[in-house]
């Protein structure tokens, strides 16, 4: 309805995520004309700040990245005029009542929809949910709340959080973000599978040898150690970002594109997965390293990390899906900070061609000559397929070449940030890319026994130098399942 209004409150407005991602994404949506005519944005946090100070704080992060030419400065000014600030405690209904009064003035008597983005630590999610729902929820329109991980540390604490939130909000009002689901190539994963005849028929144990989900960053925790140390890489990246990609990769075709149909399939495949145990995992932690005269700090050199921390900054794991489609196929994951590059990709290694007529024509190892499909989520988004091809000439020699879809060559449009897509979906009530509570339970069930074992046994991580390829243990883990990591070839 063109005449309703939208109020977005960013709770925890002075935090890093709000500054770096949420305000810029909201501006991008405004810039693209995706926000309704009547909208207001409020920052909410404990510290005192004026509206002007909030505007100043966020203005530096707003960019007209899509189209540099057109009235960028004007658009920024117009956007900032819609941004306000309210200081309040996170557990005070009275403070949220005051926010409510301010929101009402801006809403001007229109039907108002209200979106709260909880950009705050999870220990105050429930307080804010209580105050927002009792004192600042919409009277005639909808009220939705976006929350972001960590959703607990294990099955029990996650269930407790879910229960706490559900005292004040219906499941339909809770939008659990995993920002990887908002990435262009992750969204495209289903398109690739279900709208091309050539892939889906091969998508099973019959043709696929293994699948790899690889995440690497070329920087360490750098000051974020306070949060990270309590969680570690398995909870920070694997249990959510990589597992979400795996679920979409491996799920059965959904009945429709409806959010419930898709999430039903994701839950099913997650529930078919084996729980992880120690033998399936290698953990590592980066140590300082001097390269080119520069000393790169180790994880425990980070001032925000306890000096004797054994929190993993790297992990490799082998997961299995015990269903008819994937029985016996290793799904390998590898995630690490302070490695030699920043990249996220999915690699699908296919089986050998049975009775390959050309096996003698490969100069190298036949094992290297199987097809591999690579979906590079970031950077330089791409999908490419390694095929065997005859080297032109009179002889019969084959090599491996790429059928290449490089997004930068193929599409001139810029790829939107994950948060733009997800915020727009939340505003539109599209829940496909958000995590349902049963999905979250299933995800924790796979990792919780392992996480507990690592902690009770105080398993020491294998140290690896900052900027390296990670611990060699990962190599042995893959070898155990007859797998070669695709990113090391
Ligand atoms: C976050 C993690 O969820 O994802 C961070 O907490 C990580 O540790 C980040 O750096 C990576 O996101 P992206 O979009 O930069 O790949």
CB-facing half-sphere around the CA of 414: CA atoms within 13 A: 11
Nearest atom within ligand 1 for CA of residue 344: 16
The answer to whether residue 67 scores a pLDDT higher than 70 is: no
User: How do beta strands 314-319 and 331-336 pair?
Assistant: antiparallel
- CA 379 / ligand 1 centre spacing (Å): 13
- CA 215 / ligand 1 centre spacing (Å): 10
Nearest atom within ligand 1 for CA of residue 378: 16
- Ligand 1 pocket test: which of 121, 184, 240, 241 has the largest number of ligand atoms within 8 Å of its C-beta? 241
Q: Look at residue 430 and give its three-state secondary structure.
A: coil
Q: What is the pLDDT of residue 73?
A: 85
Q: Look at residue 442 and give its three-state secondary structure.
A: helix
Q: Annotated catalytic sites, by residue?
A: 241
Write the CB contacts of 231 (distance below 8 Å, at least 6 apart in sequence): 150, 153, 311
Give the CA dihedral 306, 310, 311, 313, nearest 10 degrees: 110
- CA 84 / ligand 1 centre spacing (Å): 28
Nearest atom within ligand 1 for CA of residue 221: 8
- CA 314 / ligand 1 centre spacing (Å): 14
- pTM > 0.80: yes or no: yes
Q: What is the pLDDT of residue 361?
A: 74
Q: What is the mean pLDDT of the chain?
A: 94
Name the pLDDT band for 364 (thresholds 50, 70, 90): low
236 Cβ closer than 6 Å to some ligand 1 atom = yes
Q: Which residue has a Cα nearest atom 9 of ligand 1?
A: 237
Task: Decide: 198 and 323 in contact? Cβ < 8 Å.
Answer: no
Complex ipTM: 0.97
DSSP state of 87: E
Q: Which two tokens stand for residue 390?
A: 């005859």
Residue with tokens 């659990």: 176
- For the stretch 266-297, pLDDT in tens is 999 999 999 999 999 999 999 999 999 999 99
- CA 15 / ligand 1 centre spacing (Å): 15
- For the stretch 221-274, pLDDT in tens is 988 888 999 999 999 999 999 999 999 999 999 999 999 999 999 999 999 999
Q: Which residue has a Cα nearest atom 2 of ligand 1?
A: 236
Task: Decide: 165 and 404 in contact? Cβ < 8 Å.
Answer: no
- Ligand 1 pocket test: which of 122, 149, 179 has the largest number of ligand atoms within 8 Å of its C-beta? 179
């Amino acid at each position: 309805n063109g005449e309703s209004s939208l109020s977005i409150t960013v709770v925890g407005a002075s935090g890093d995520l709000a500054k770096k991602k949420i305000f810029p994404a909201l501006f991008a949506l405004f810039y693209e004309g995706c926000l309704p005519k009547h909208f207001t944005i409020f920052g909410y946090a404990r510290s005192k700040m004026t509206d002007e100070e909030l505007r100043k704080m966020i203005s530096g992060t707003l960019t007209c990245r899509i189209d540099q030419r057109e009235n960028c400065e004007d658009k920024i000014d117009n956007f900032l005029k819609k941004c306000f600030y309210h200081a309040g405690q996170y557990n005070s209904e009275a403070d949220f009542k005051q926010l409510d009064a301010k929101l009402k003035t801006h809403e001007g008597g229109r039907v108002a929809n209200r979106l709260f983005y909880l950009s705050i630590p999870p220990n105050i999610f429930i307080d804010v949910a209580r105050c927002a729902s009792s004192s600042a929820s919409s009277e005639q329109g909808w009220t939705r709340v976006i929350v972001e991980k960590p959703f607990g540390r294990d099955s029990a604490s996650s269930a407790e959080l879910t229960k706490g939130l559900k005292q004040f909000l219906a499941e339909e009002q809770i939008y659990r973000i995993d920002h990887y689901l908002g990435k262009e190539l992750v969204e495209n994963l289903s398109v690739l599978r279900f709208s091309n005849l050539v892939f889906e028929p091969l998508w099973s144990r019959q043709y696929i040898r293994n699948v790899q989900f690889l995440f690497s960053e070329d920087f360490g925790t750098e000051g974020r150690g306070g949060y990270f140390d309590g969680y570690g890489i398995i909870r920070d990246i694997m249990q959510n970002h990589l597992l979400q990609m795996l679920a979409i990769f491996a799920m059965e075709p959904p009945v429709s594109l409806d959010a419930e149909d898709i999430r039903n399939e994701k839950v099913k495949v997650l529930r078919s997965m084996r729980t992880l145990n120690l033998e399936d995992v290698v953990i590592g932690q980066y140590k300082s390293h001097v390269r080119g005269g520069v000393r790169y700090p180790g994880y425990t050199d980070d001032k925000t990390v306890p000096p004797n921390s054994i929190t993993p900054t790297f992990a490799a794991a082998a997961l299995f899906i015990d269903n008819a489609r994937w029985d016996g196929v290793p799904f390998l994951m590898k995630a690490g900070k302070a490695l030699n590059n920043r990249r996220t990709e999915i690699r699908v290694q296919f089986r050998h061609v049975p009775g390959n007529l050309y096996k003698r024509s490969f100069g190298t190892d036949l094992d290297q000559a199987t097809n591999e499909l690579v979906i590079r989520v970031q950077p330089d988004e791409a999908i490419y397929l390694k095929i065997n091809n005859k080297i032109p000439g009179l002889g019969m020699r084959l090599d491996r070449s790429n059928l290449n879809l490089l997004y930068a060559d193929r599409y001139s449009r810029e790829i939107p940030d994950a948060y733009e897509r997800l915020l727009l979906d939340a505003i539109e009530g599209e829940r496909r890319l958000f995590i349902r509570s049963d999905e979250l339970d299933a995800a924790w069930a796979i990792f919780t026994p392992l996480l507990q074992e690592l902690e009770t046994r105080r398993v020491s991580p294998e140290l690896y130098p900052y900027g390296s390829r990670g611990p060699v243990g990962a190599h042995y883990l893959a070898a155990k399942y007859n797998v070669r990591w695709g990113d090391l070839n």
